[in-house]
Amino acid sequence: MAIKHATATLLLVMLFLITAGAGAGENAANPQEGGNDTPFFGVSLGVKGAFGGNFVTNPDNAPIGAIIYDDGAGGIGGGGGLYTEFRILKGHLGLEFDLIFEKNKNWSSITFSNVVETDWIFTFNAVRMPLLLEGSVESESVRGSLGIGPEFVVGTGASTDIQVTEGSQYVDENELQASRNRFTASKQTDTYICFGLGLAIKVWKLAVTIDMRYAYNLTQPSEYDDRVKYSGSTTDPDVETIASNSMDLRILLGVAYELGF
């Protein structure tokens, strides 16, 4: 609930700043010329850091008492990288490409015998590459934008862990370690649809940026058997899950050098 309130507050602040900045830009413009001095063509080169939450939906046709995804999964992710943006029509139409290196950690809580509570955790590294078509409102000091486009997420590695959160006195450490060894994750490459809301505050030839992005995974399998693989013993099977998010929300902070022609 706190995350939802913080997200809504940030959204309202960004919208307020965009509106206020656009109004200020219009008031500052020369009334005889009736325009602004924004270049017809603009380029931004900069860096961004990202942080936010992940959610993994329950797959379809999961067996009762399924290992992981018993009640969905969630976690956090974040990282940083480079970005570039090209704008035309005095900043009103743009195209942005990012190269973000990110680490994600998701976990699913499972209770055994109503006594032992565990977190089944999978961690994965990925390179995120969104390509966003953006429409913008431009003023002398502020630029606000809305964007949409594909985001390609390439997994570069994955690992797993099982942690006992309650009832550890009933758990044999050797059996726990054996379960950890049998639980693995495989890296995944997915395509998301990404929606973005952005704000850039212009200072000299620099822009300080704040972005909010929601991405939904279009290629993650929906069936349980396509996400989780069992092999080996029927009593103590090896369990492998694909490492990806169903959807995620990110807040990005950045700074860029801007050129105009």
Q: How far apart are CA 138 and CA 145, in angstroms?
A: 9
Cβ partners under 8 Å of residue 203, min gap 6: none
pLDDT at position 86: 96
* The pLDDT of residue 122: 94
pLDDT of the residue at 234: 67
- CA–CA separation, 22 vs 59, rounded Å? 45
- Backbone angles phi and psi of 22, in degrees to 5: -65, -40
Q: What is the pLDDT along the chain (261 residues), one digit of tens a residue?
A: 444 444 444 455 455 444 444 444 444 344 444 445 778 899 999 999 999 999 999 899 887 767 777 677 899 999 999 999 999 998 899 999 999 999 999 999 888 888 999 999 999 999 999 999 999 998 889 999 999 999 999 999 999 999 999 999 989 999 999 999 999 999 999 999 999 999 999 999 999 999 999 999 999 999 999 999 888 776 778 899 999 999 999 999 999 999 988
pLDDT tens across 26-35, in order? 443 444 444 4
Cα–Cα distance measured from residue 132 to residue 193, given in angstroms and rounded to the nearest whole number: 10
Task: Say if residues 118 and 167 touch (Cβ distance below 8 Å).
Answer: no
Domain ranges in the chain?
2-260
- Token look-up 């060894």 returns 181
Domain spanning 2-260, CATH architecture: Beta Barrel (2.40)
